[in-house]
Amino acid sequence: MYQRILVATDGSKLSNKAVNNAIALAASLGAELIALKVVPRYPQSYLEGAETLSADEAARVEDRWAALGHEVVDAVKTAGEAKGVKVKAIIAKSDVVSEALIAAAKKHKADLIVMASHGRKGVKRLLLGSETQQVLTHSEIPVLVLR
């Protein structure tokens, strides 16, 4: 059924639920798991007079965020391999999580995306946006959403 499952994680309790379900599904199907953490780029201000970090300082911040991201996906790799699942741990640097998820799924030839959703509704969803909704809307492969 599914050969390669991409699971999005940020290390939160909610995303860990998606990770655990993705590991169980991959184990039951004999599928490979791709653990993805999307790391933002350091914001650069374009407003005159705004305080910004130097290029070197911004690079150090991004490197630290990437290192923390590696810790998150490495934990998924350890958990998956303990269940007999082959796990590929990857980091993507992007300011738009949904686009990075879809691009990674295509690049790694995933045939299912597993992710969590906070299940926000109404004004909260409108104000905070929904990366999950964007993935559901634009992905060409199936998406399993867990709450």
Residue 35 sits in a domain whose CATH number is 3.40.50.620
pLDDT in tens, 22-38: 999 999 999 999 999 99
pLDDT of residue 58: 78
State the residue range of the domain holding 85: 4-146
Return the half-sphere exposure (C-beta side, CA atoms, 13 A cut-off) of residue 41.
9
Strand pairing class (112-116; 4-8): parallel
Strand pairing class (143-146; 87-93): unpaired
Please determine, for residue 122, whether its predicted confidence score (pLDDT) is greater than 80. no
Mean of pLDDT over the chain: 87
Number of domains, the chain: 1
- Assess contact for 105 and 97: CB atoms under 8 A: no
pLDDT in tens, 48-99: 445 566 778 878 888 899 999 999 999 999 999 999 999 999 999 998 999 9
- CA 118, CA 141: separation in Å to the nearest integer? 21
